Amino acid sequence: MSRATDKQKECVRMLRVQKGDILISRSGTIGKVTYATRILADKYVISDDLVRVRVPDENMRAYLLAFLMSSTAMNLMKLDEFGSVQQHLQPRHIWGLPVPVPDSWEQVSPIIDAGKGMISAMEQTSLADESLRTNGFDSLIE
């Protein structure tokens, strides 16, 4: 980064993952959803083959993650795919998804809790993965 131009630095900032981003594959196997953990955000820059969805509110993020991981959302995403050999989605397809909004957030509190549970599990998996990479087999060789 110390040798990058201002324009290059801005491009890297735009591609950098932020903790809490919901990431959706938009090319190839479209519609796969994951969550950007702290470790992922600290260490990686991703290409534009992933759509980033940023939701500041923790409850809304958990709800949206649960929705985007549902078969309903997957089917909606597949309605907008295009490409004859390799399937693609555009970010506008994701932004245009009709997300169900409940009459009362109390109605969907189990879904929000499940989304938060998924986020917590992904964070724990990410920590275990990092620990294994740092302290695992390769540490015996050094």
Residue 125's pLDDT band, with cuts at 50, 70 and 90, is very high
Taking 60 as the threshold, does the pLDDT of residue 24 lie above it? yes
In the three-class reduction of DSSP (H, G, I as helix; E, B as strand; rest coil), residue 24 is classed as: strand
Average pLDDT, the chain: 87
Is the model's pTM score more than 0.75?
yes
Q: Which two tokens stand for residue 128?
A: 């275990």
Q: How far apart are the first and last CA of the chain?
A: 28
Share of the chain above pLDDT 90, in %: 49
**At residue 51, does pLDDT exceed 50?**
yes
133 pLDDT exceeds 50? yes
Q: What is the predicted pLDDT for the residue at 85?
A: 47
Q: Using N-to-C axis directions, what is the helix angle for 58-68 and 109-135, rounded to 10°? A: 90
The owner of tokens 């938060």 is 116
What's the rounded Cα separation, in Å, for the pair 29 and 32? 7
Q: What is the pLDDT of residues 57-113, one digit of tens each?
A: 999 999 999 999 999 998 888 776 555 545 677 788 888 889 999 999 999 999 999
